[in-house]
Amino acid sequence: MAEGVFTHKARQSGLSLLIDSAGTHDYHVGAPPDLRAQQTMRQAGYDIAQLRGRQVCAADFAKYDYILAMDAANLHNLQDMAGEYVDKVQLYLNFSQQYAGMSVPDPYYGGDDGFKQVLAMVEDAADGLLVALQAKK
């Protein structure tokens, strides 16, 4: 969901960025996003149906300027994997005004409201990340 939101917002802002998402585990490699996530995103004007899950790999740390974790557990996993690139690893919601320091909850076992909550959180963080990137220009 975060990739879909940030890709959409970056394009709207006229930024040309390389954006990708990946998990620290291989649970959903090759799978499309959860149908509830797709529905929530579609209702909000985002299309994530074409996305497929993949696992973080060592090359990602050199390739990307930011490695953003959705929660504390993944933050620690990414920091352990990052080696010399550990400074690139941050908590995604730290770019949010409203949710800084928090973890994005996993909505998988909850109802549709969980996906709506996640959408609100990642939209807010995406706005903050865009501000940070534009300030670096």
Tokens of 39: 């529905």
Please name the residue ranges forming H helices in the chain. Answer: 2-12, 35-43, 58-63, 72-82, 112-136
Q: How far is Cα 32 from Cα 95, in angstroms, rounded to an integer?
A: 26
Taking every pair of Cα atoms in the chain, the longest distance, rounded to a whole number of angstroms, is: 40
Provide the residue-wise pLDDT of the chain in tens; the chain has 137 residues: 999 999 999 999 999 999 999 999 998 999 999 999 999 999 999 999 999 999 999 999 999 999 999 999 999 999 999 999 999 999 999 999 999 999 999 998 877 799 999 999 999 999 999 999 999 87
pLDDT score for 109: 85
CATH pick for 2-136 out of 3.40.50.12780, 3.40.50.2300, 3.40.50.10090, 3.40.50.2000: 3.40.50.2300
Q: What's the CA gap between 93 and 34, in Å, rounded?
A: 21
